[in-house]
Chains A and B, each alone.
Chain A
Amino acid sequence: EAGVAQSPRYKIIEKRQSVAFWCNPISGHATLYWYQQILGQGPKLLIQFQNNGVVDDSQLPKDRFSAERLKGVDSTLKIQPAKLEDSAVYLCASSLARGGRRNTEAFFGQGTRLTVV
């Protein structure tokens, strides 16, 4: 079974530029998450999708971050304009999340390391 795919692996941009990250979850997984992991910290949830609907985006800085999950499969996360403090690893995860609680296990991609200079 293929895992969660993310691209690019690394990205360096200047502040005020825009950037986009792509995620392809495990086939059949209804729930998709984007996490931000700043160096030395644990991952923080930015947004959670159930199919193509947003379940939780309470910690997404909506003035500069946006995300979409068209057709309930792939997802893109965009930052526009980027700030220095956006430097982090952006992790995508997916889970079945249908029915029983045992389907809540989240599988993570390798992440995109963003450096804003």
Chain B
Amino acid sequence: AQSVTQPDIHITVSEGASLELRCNYSYGATPYLFWYVQSPGQGLQLLLKYFSGDTLVQGIKGFEAEFKRSQSSFNLRKPSVHWSDAAEYFCAVGARAAGNKLTFGGGTRVLVKP
């Protein structure tokens, strides 16, 4: 069975500072990995995805993530945070062998200080 852990429940960062959100997954083979963002009262918006190939993935809104197979991690980063980045971020894992269903982590809430 696949699982995802996001160790940080809350992160507070100053506007303009860098941001890194941690994600660890458990799956026997190479998974598909995703990061979604959810603003209050909204659905989930895809930031980026990894299927194979280059382990550094670029996404929307200036986000990137790096797949590290040896660490079973897929951490999300942004060099300079904007106030509009305050939201909840979810890491998810999928796999074709599991019918492509997504298993989500518990989420990390990001607060941005002015």
A residues near B, CB below 8 A? 4, 31, 33, 40-45, 48, 50, 55-56, 91, 93, 95, 97, 101-102, 104-111, 113
- Chain A residues within 8 Å of B106, by CB: 40-42
Known contacts: A41-B107, A42-B90, A44-B104. The answer to whether A56 contacts B99 by CB under 8 A is yes
> In the complex, are the beta carbons of B51 and A108 less than 8 A apart?
no
- B85-114 CB mask vs A (1 if < 8 Å, else 0) is 000001010101001111111110000000
> In the complex, are the beta carbons of A48 and B32 less than 8 A apart?
no
| Shortest Cβ gap from A75 to chain B (Å) | 15
> In the complex, are the beta carbons of A105 and B46 less than 8 A apart?
yes
> In the complex, are the beta carbons of A43 and B42 less than 8 A apart?
no
| Shortest Cβ gap from B73 to chain A (Å) | 17
- Chain B residues within 8 Å of A33, by CB: 101-102
Known contacts: A41-B106, A108-B44. The answer to whether A31 contacts B100 by CB under 8 A is yes
> In the complex, are the beta carbons of A102 and B104 less than 8 A apart?
no
> In the complex, are the beta carbons of A101 and B42 less than 8 A apart?
no
- Chain A residues within 8 Å of B103, by CB: 45
> In the complex, are the beta carbons of B96 and A104 less than 8 A apart?
yes
- Chain B residues within 8 Å of A104, by CB: 32, 94, 96, 100
| Shortest Cβ gap from B2 to chain A (Å) | 11
- With a 10 A CB-CB cut-off, give which of B41, B46, B92, B102 has the most chain A CB atoms: B102
- Chain B residues within 8 Å of A56, by CB: 99, 101
